A and B are shown apart, each in its own frame.
Chain A
Amino acid sequence: MALGGYANRVAHVDLTAGTVEYRGIPEDWARKYVGARGLGVRYMLENGPQVDPLSPDNLLCFMNGPLTGTEANMSGRMAIVTKSPLTGTVTDSHHGGWSAARLRWAGFDGLLVKGKASGPVYLYVHDGIVEIMDASEVWGKGVHDTVKFFRERYGEKDLSVIAIGPAGENLVKFACWVNENDRASGRGGTGCVGGSKLLKAVVIKSAKKMPKAANLDAWKPAQKRALATIMDERNITSPRKGGLSVYGTNVLMNITSAMGALPTKNSTITSFGPSAEKISGEYVKEHILVDDPTCHACPVACKKEVEIKEGPWKGLRMESVEYEPAWSLGANCGNDDINTVAKLIDMCNDYGMDAIELGHPLSIYMEATERGYTNGAGGLAWGDTMAMVEMARKIAMREGIGNVMADGAEATARYFGHPELAMTVKGQGVPAYDPRGLKGMGIAYATSNRGACHLRAYTPAAELGVMPFGSLKVDPLAWKGKGELVKIFQDVHAFSDSLDLCKFSAFAESAEEYAAQYAAMVGVECTAEDVLKIGERIYNLERYYNNLAGFREGSDYLPARFTQEPSTMPGSEGHVCELDEMLAEYYAARGWVNGVVPESKLRELGIID
């Protein structure tokens, strides 16, 4: 391959046959889809969009991008790409720490896993090779004990372990992969696909070997300029000064609650009132914070490690209390006990479950209980902390009603005979922004290619005015212009997810910084316009996959609660989300016909010939 930067080595693992082949990346694909998310989806398309997510034929991709593990800031990200058992769409979910960097240093751009092993296995990745090894000794163990086991076997130094826990083994539909730093590729049930293949872990042993840029002269200034934006005191990334660095992502809890944009008690209301403070980043810092861990090449250090000081989980030290799970297992469930939030997140890390998704079956059960829909199936009260902990275990182990809830929000709501209680889009639960108070999130959730998601188009950056250097601010309650805004965000994020850089780089870096670093690393010309074009191609590729998988006209929607039940809380009182208006604007900007990519668009973007 003529492009620099890449390892140009992808392992094709067939677990049924027990074989591993090593191939380069088709250059045309690398140029068109960059790496990580984009390239992973291209491999998924090649594998066939009609595949049953839990059949051996589904492909499970562990993908790096051309900037992964380099000197680029915030470049310790890996994308796990597959067809989701939760949504039926293509999905990609990223995690940080050092496992992605180590995969690159071990000599790989990606691992593509197909088939199903005859017994539990793990992949041992080192020195440019992948070995399929027996994992029966760790099958049944939680992620934490699995990591411990491999540390004893291979030594802690230079070791990364990405594992599934019992939830993945038990095919919980929202099971995930978690690494040795408790960083999870949380969304979309990628861990469930691992469990279906009897793949317990990917174990990577590699010392640091920073990839060299193809154009070294251009690389140094590009990397320096990007770093300067992250360090700048005007941006929230500014180390030990900016809100993201000091308080972590959970600095959001108070503001979204105050503005009526925090989905509370299964989105029945849009604010947690004074209780938001008790689960906020400010509260965590004052009461239980013990450390601020980071990821490969990141000066921001937004992770928040805590130690519980009192109560039934006294002494538990865990990472990391993030905004999303603190909302899902806190406000969403009417729970204002931060210690229980931390305990539940730690359980999710150990069982290998998406902590965002877990809150949905729990809060549905709670609302069903309150409304008298449970038909003698017991009950779960809002904020019943001990019961939540027990229910989390039952879901991971598929015990009792946990067996229903393990199939996700929609299955849980159907079980109670009230599908309208599921706050989902394409089967995936909404994250921590109520689209009645932050309207851009409404169109972002509806049109996300992986089901409800805040990270496909992080419009709060513009709606809260935290774009790099305050470059843009728009009214959170206005819908006009949000369709076009979401398209731009989706395209830029699709590119950065393919590099693969942490999403939070977008609070400091712009498309110019992405373009300059990419161009220097791989040795091509790239401008900010090219970034948007490539991002657009990747977004359309995903949509094309989903269209072929059966998501046709009318697949972009929101739960009726957001479009029909006005907010009753200050900040957004009286507002619903004007989805139809935004959808019309969005489809016009995309050139799609009611959610379907026309052939002419696919040709224009070079996706088909």
Chain B
Amino acid sequence: MQVNFYATLRPIVGGRTVEFDVGEHVTVRQLVGVIVERFPRLRKELLNEDGNLYPHVHVFINGRDAPYLPNGVETVIKPGDTVDIFPAVAGG
């Protein structure tokens, strides 16, 4: 599965898009677990002490922030879905 990273996350993963070897029926929560296992430095960027995504971190599935999907972070990612992960970003 391809995952796109942005802004300050890119130097940590070493590029824009990274391929992750995950089985079918992987949920957003499971995918994030796989990601932080492969890139341990991401753990403190993405997850709070309880292991939940920070509110300012965005895991988009087809442009929609996972917590707002009907099944939240338990949403199963389908083949062909676009996954984008952003740290806190804003400007104006």
Contact = CB atoms under 8 A, between A and B. Distances in A.
The answer on A and B forming one complex is yes
A249 B91 contact: yes
A243 B68 contact: no
Interface residues of B, number: 24
A464 B60 contact: no
Given A282-B6, A282-B10, A465-B56, A252 B91 contact: yes
Interface residues of A, number: 46
A247 B82 contact: no
Given A252-B89, A322-B91, A247 B7 contact: yes
A440 B8 CA distance: 26
Contact of B8 (A246, A454, A470): A246
A479 to B, nearest CB: 14
A507 B90 contact: yes
Interface string A241-258: 111101111111011001
Interface string A342-362: 000000000000000000000
A454 B92 contact: yes
A218 interface: no
A241 to B, nearest CB: 7
B33 interface: no
Nearest to A507: B90
A112 B91 CA distance: 31
A466 B63 contact: no
A457 to B, nearest CB: 11
A571 B54 CA distance: 20
Given A473-B55, A569-B63, A571-B64, A466 B90 contact: yes
B68 A475 contact: yes
A251 B87 CA distance: 10
Given A243-B88, A252-B90, A258 B56 contact: no
Contacts of B92: 249, 323-324, 454-455, 458, 460, 503-504
Interface in B48-92: 54-56, 58, 60, 62-65, 68, 82, 84, 86-92
B89 A251 contact: yes
B8 A241 contact: yes
Most buried by B among A243, A248, A458, A461: A243
B56 A464 contact: yes
Interface string A315-338: 000000011100000000000000
Contacts of A298: none
A282 B5 CA distance: 11
B89 A302 contact: no
A442 B90 CA distance: 18
Nearest to A251: B89
Contacts of A250: 91
B17 to A, nearest CB: 10
A236 interface: yes
A485 B44 CA distance: 30
A243 B63 contact: no
Interface in A223-267: 235-236, 241-244, 246-252, 254-255, 258-260
A231 B14 CA distance: 26
A258 B63 contact: yes
Given A470-B55, A473-B56, A255 B6 contact: yes
B86 A465 contact: no
Contacts of A460: 90, 92
Contacts of B90: 236, 243-244, 251-252, 458, 460-461, 464, 466, 507
A244 B7 CA distance: 10
A322 B90 CA distance: 12
A248 B89 CA distance: 10
Interface of B: 6-8, 10, 16, 54-56, 58, 60, 62-65, 68, 82, 84, 86-92
Given A243-B8, A251-B91, A322-B91, 14 more contacts: A243-B7, A243-B87, A243-B88, A243-B90, A251-B7, A255-B58, A255-B89, A259-B63, A259-B64, A323-B91, A458-B90, A464-B89, A464-B90, A476-B65
Interface of A: 235-236, 241-244, 246-252, 254-255, 258-260, 271, 277, 281-282, 302, 322-324, 454-455, 458, 460-461, 464-466, 470, 473, 475-477, 503-504, 507, 569-572
11 contacts: A249-B92, A255-B89, A259-B64, A282-B6, A323-B92, A454-B92, A460-B90, A464-B88, A475-B68, A504-B92, A570-B62
